[in-house]
Structure 1
């Protein structure tokens, strides 16, 4: 039963990227036995980038795209949150679903960072996306229509494909 949120980033895109990949929230160590092999002592970190070399260089790549197309103002990016019910998915499943969610929505066009946070009872993905397309310079615009049709529709489709519950809409959406 994933639910989604989206926030426009109007200042400090770099802070949102850092938050999404925060090691204290994206690491899974051997103490969490239901998802990690107890014989392993390495830490598993759930961070992936889309159309960037690494999480460490993602902000610089996003800035380079903005400068290339002379679109450094206005909405700098978008912060999507995709959250799952406690116990419904493993951290690995949550992360893979988050990565596929970003791929389906943004494909080859936009740079994004996906971090799966495990610091709460419910695994949740933070996806920070550049507002400017790296392929043609157009800006992504979030609207109620794009949220319900694209964002929520994609998340719900992924939940169904992975045999997860889906929240049935009841009446009008809320802000």
Structure 2
């Protein structure tokens, strides 16, 4: 078996990552799934502190989902048809997550102002939906990484050479076949 690196610095410098997407995406996954669970608990047993916590976590998860799917989302190159379909599914679930998370956050914030059961129910539907879609997006992301090999060490990611004012692509990294 081939060694990837003889000695890797710990922790790895941020510049060593081909994309920051995996560093960012795990927070919204955890926050939105936790938010969905909290909202179900609050729906069954109302609690002011949990209501506020749910709004804060929902907002954090929604903002994190937006950042992960837009600002640090890597661009790919040279994908197989199957990998491309998985990527499109991943991106669709991420899109649904953003909108369900935003709707759930706004609805949940509305319950702080007007705590009525039907509004809590709508917030629960949106937040549970966001929890489900972020889990599905994560599942597709795992398939992209572990089944199709996209991302590790920059495989299939567009690589931009530093210092070029035109920002054009200079090189593409693909995994080496054994």
Query: Taking structure 2 as the reference length, what is the TM-score of the superposition?
Result: 0.28
Flag the structure with more relative contact order, 1 or 2, with Cα contacts below 8 A and sequence separation at least 6. Answer: 1
Greater strand share, structure number: 1
Q: Which entry has the higher C-alpha Rg, 1 or 2? A: 2
Query: Taking structure 1 as the reference length, what is the TM-score of the superposition?
Result: 0.28
